Structure 1
Amino acid sequence: MAAGPWQAVTALVDQVRRALYDYVRSQDHPVTRDEAAEAQRISRNLAAFHLDKLVAAGLLRARYAAPTDQPRGRGRTPKVYEAAPGCIALTIPERRYDLIGEILAQAVAEDPTDARSAALRLAGHRGVALGRQVGAGGPVADVLAELGFEPTDDDELIRLRNCPFHELAVQQTELVCGLNQAFVAGLLDGLGRTDLHARLAPTLGACCVQIRPA
């Protein structure tokens, strides 16, 4: 899976790395290692090290391209860096409002007359797609943990201690919990876990979905 928000945030703890990130974001053109090093008054090798760490954390993106203000010369095309699109959000416990927002927006766009049914269908499809991306037979608990559900095994029952959509679920319980169940059911399907079933089991202080043997 892609780098998570924790990795992105911890990548900025180092002051040199944070300064390089701020510099790249402030520029209206891709930045070379030489330019970054000169701007921060550090060695080129040190700049390259920290820039690549920022790429690994998902904060920058890199490619090879000749500077637009310089003629193409001989030798290797330089590696350039620019800010990655999107934003980094960190919540404790983890929340995934971006996921449910994408599902609802797509549902309204596809079927404005019955967006609720479309959203349930799309939530299932999104879960299936993610499960297939991980691969059949993938560890269910690990995938759920990566998504922020905080799963815990209780004999044959998998309880989900955290709801990534909690605040929305409080406001629109029936809709959001239904989408949650459809998503988790789709995830199990995508993982090939036909032996497991996602069911609604609202519990105070926990996710409304539980996973039991089918």
Structure 2
Amino acid sequence: MDEAGSAMTAVAALDDDLRRGMYDYIRRARRPVGRDEAASAVGISRKLAAFHLDKLVAAGLLCARYEPLGGIRKVGRPSKVYEPTPADIRISIPPRRHDLLADILVDAVLTEGDQENATQAAVRVARERGHHLGTAERERTRPGRLGAERALTRAEEVLAGYGFEPDREAPGCVRLRNCPFHPLTARSPELVCGLNHAFLQGFLAGLQARSTEAVLEPRPGECCVALRST
């Protein structure tokens, strides 16, 4: 399951007052919580609590293990206890990746060189991030140098996971129907579109897709970049 699917599963699991109540209680407790305590917190039976707690585990919101409660070792099987996972659950429709934009800007501030201004540093970092992504994908699949068709197909597969909503508009063109950085683009279109362009240029370079290029082709309501075979 992809990141968006996992987030939707987690949110759906919390669309129940009992589960949400137990999840909130366990997060506030900041320690392992057993079934009896969780059941008491929302006023239900231990058996029903176990059912809902295991649903929260399956959704990736809680983790469970067996251990003696209160640090007291007793004869017999240890109790099952629950704690929150470190998962950061977010859903945006259409997808947004403000975390990626924030990472780029923070790294730009931290690594800005003497011969760069802030915008130049951000563009450099965006290109490096894209290059790293493309290189990782190339090494994972070991395709060698890619022709235009395979490069566009690979780009569609990878960029879909980053919220770009790629669409094969023509045999040699992939339009990116969604800007993952919207609505921040409206505040500074030149900066954000420049970062998007640099990120996708770096991605194609890391992928070694020399027969494909990222070009600025702004359209209302879409990403400002298209991928075209050359």
Give the TM-score range, shorter chain. Answer: 0.7 to 0.9
Quote the residue 2:131 is aligned against. 128
Q: Which amino acid aligns with 1:97?
A: H
Shift of 1:75: 6.3
Contact 1:11-1:53 at 8 Å conserved across structures: no
Distance 1:33 1:128, change over 3 A: farther
CA displacement 1:36-82 (0-9 Å, x = unmatched): 34544241641442131232xxx33x264746732345666655433
Length-normalised TM-score, structure 2: 0.74
Q: How does 1:85-164 map to 2 (within 5 A)?
A: 85=86, 87-111=88-112, 114=116, 115-131=118-134, 132=136, 135-136=140-141, 139-155=154-170, 156-164=172-180
1:3 matches 2:19: no
Contact 1:33-1:47 at 8 Å conserved across structures: no
Distance 1:111 1:78, change over 3 A: farther
Report the more deviating stretch, 121-130 or 67-76: 67-76
Distance 1:166 1:51, change over 3 A: closer
Shift of 1:92: 2.7
Indicate which of 16, 19, 22 corresponds to 2:21: 19
Shift of 1:96: 1.6
Contact 1:37-1:47 at 8 Å conserved across structures: no
CA displacement 1:97-139 (0-9 Å, x = unmatched): 1210111012102227533222222212322333416933684
| Cα RMSD after superposing both structures | 3.1
Percent identity reads 42
Contact 1:36-1:47 at 8 Å conserved across structures: no
Based on CA coordinates, which of the two structures has the bigger radius of gyration? 2
1:29 matches 2:34: no
**In the comparison of the two structures, how many residue pairs are matched?**
210
Q: Distance in 2 between matches of 1:213 and 1:196?
A: 4
Mark the runs of 5 or more structure 1 residues left unpaired by the alignment: none
Contact 2:126-2:196 at 8 Å conserved across structures: yes
Shift of 1:166: 2.2
Shift of 1:160: 0.9
Distance 1:16 1:130, change over 3 A: farther
Q: Distance in 1 between matches of 2:77 and 2:130?
A: 43
Q: Distance in 1 between matches of 2:184 and 2:54?
A: 41
Q: Counterpart of 1:152 in 2: which secondary structure? A: strand
Contact 1:66-1:77 at 8 Å conserved across structures: yes
Distance 1:17 1:68, change over 3 A: closer
Quote the residue 2:72 is aligned against. 71
Q: Counterpart of 2:89 in 1: which secondary structure? A: coil
Distance 1:116 1:129, change over 3 A: same
Mark the runs of 5 or more structure 2 residues left unpaired by the alignment: 144-152
Contact 2:197-2:216 at 8 Å conserved across structures: yes
1:206 matches 2:222: yes
Shift of 1:31: 2.2
Length-normalised TM-score, structure 1: 0.79
Quote the residue 2:58 is aligned against. 53
